[in-house]
A and B are shown apart, each in its own frame.
Chain A
Amino acid sequence: MKDERGPWYLITGFILGVGLGLLYSWVISPLEYVDTAPSSLRADFKDRYRVLIAEAYAANGDMNRAQARLALLADEDVNRALAIQAQQTMAEGNFPEEARALGLLAAALGRLPTAPFVMAVVSPTPYFTISPSTTPENTPTVTPSPVIKIVPTHTPTFTQLPELSLTPTQTATPKPSPTPTPTLGAPFVVKDKVVLCDPGLGAPLIQVWVEDVDGKPIPGVEIVIYWVEGEEHFFTGLKPEIGWGYADVLIQAGVDYTLQIASGGEPVSALVAQECTTAGGNRYWGSWNIVFAQP
């Protein structure tokens, strides 16, 4: 008797085999999560890893080691990742020491003339090997932006301002211990202090620029701002997209602030938000633009 069922049984067997193969490779014995690299960590664990790197750097001051460790996370822009995380942590306000460590490392990296990843690979300090999967494909370069000109980029709509009797809502962030700052040389003097009427800023700010004797921006400089009810500390270099020597702080209208470089130097007092007016007669709060420089 001739069998007329054809080759369909072969296709059935093949499909059955593929199914069993996938069952085995995906379910019964999948590739195990072992020997992974830090670059594959979940975002929140990467953040924890970054904080640990920054705190270790704050403890040992070993920049080569810090760079090699940061390279393991394979961030597209190491400095930016650090600066953003520092800003976020500072804004949350729960872990000021972590924010400070992140900020100091970002600032220290910003001062380097060469690309961090290149140094990380050749550094003899770290004990781990950077596997191909964790080696960044491109080599980002740090381009400090010394521009101190602020140009409004959009035209906001204006609303009539309330009376100048606002109550400050900022709270003090006391520091339990003095914060180390980079060696800066001569004390800073105020090179420029102007009211900046820029409606594009949205809210009144004190913008600070810190320059060295050659006019180059200095990141990582700690600045203290005082007012009647408290004080706040912030650092230059956490907004590298604006400039490595730049820092800013939001202020409340009607409050008198005094600002100073934490390491000493000339204080700037009587910093009160000034009223500005647009060509159309709308009022808004202006900002302060202060430039510190080494004589």
Chain B
Amino acid sequence: MTRRWLFFLLSILVGLVVGGIYGWIINPVEYVDTTPDTLRADYKADYVLMVAEIYQVEGDPALAARRLAVLGDAPPLTLIEQALRYGAEIGYSDMDLVKLSRLAKAVAFWTPEATAP
């Protein structure tokens, strides 16, 4: 009887392994129709850099913040700071880091929390 239980538990274990392999490797959840907040860090940083490049010409922090809102719930300033940190780590050019810094400064002054009395 004990042997039967042992084999029973063993078969459950084998089933678990097979189910795990199928669910994680053979037929995992597919990456389709994702949202920008799930982007890898380098893509996110480049997205923020694009916004900074456009801000250089447009000079509209509200519009820049609206563009950054696509990247998730984090405040725009946090997203820019993350991009700045990432950019400094992987060697963004000084010119690009300056663009990000200018955007950060503009968004910081624009943010309602920062401008409220």
**A residues neighboring B (CB under 8 Å):** 3, 9-26, 30-31, 33-38, 40-43, 45, 48-49, 52-53, 55-56, 58-60, 69, 72, 126-129
Contact = CB atoms under 8 A, between A and B. Distances in A.
A45 B67 CA distance: 11
Given A31-B28, A56-B54, A13 B40 contact: no
Interface string B1-35: 00010011111111111111111100011011111
- Size category of the binding interface on chain B: 35 or more
B87 A127 contact: yes
A13 B12 contact: yes
Residue of A37, A43, A56 most packed against chain B (CB within 10 A): A56
Residue of A11, A14, A38 most packed against chain B (CB within 10 A): A14
Contacts, number: 156
B15 A17 contact: yes
B20 A24 contact: yes
A69 B43 CA distance: 9
A30 B53 CA distance: 37
Contact of B31 (A10, A40, A45, A126): A40
B107 interface: no
Nearest to B55: A59
Given A37-B40, A127-B46, 18 more contacts: A3-B4, A9-B4, A9-B7, A17-B14, A17-B18, A18-B15, A21-B16, A25-B22, A25-B28, A30-B29, A34-B38, A35-B41, A55-B54, A56-B50, A56-B53, A72-B43, A126-B46, A128-B45
Dominant secondary structure of chain A at its interface with chain B: helix
Nearest to A45: B36
B7 A10 contact: yes
Contact of A40 (B8, B24, B32, B92): B32
Contacts of A26: 23, 29
Interface in B36-63: 36, 38-43, 45-47, 49-51, 53-54, 56-58
A126 B41 CA distance: 14
B34 A49 contact: no
A13 B14 CA distance: 9
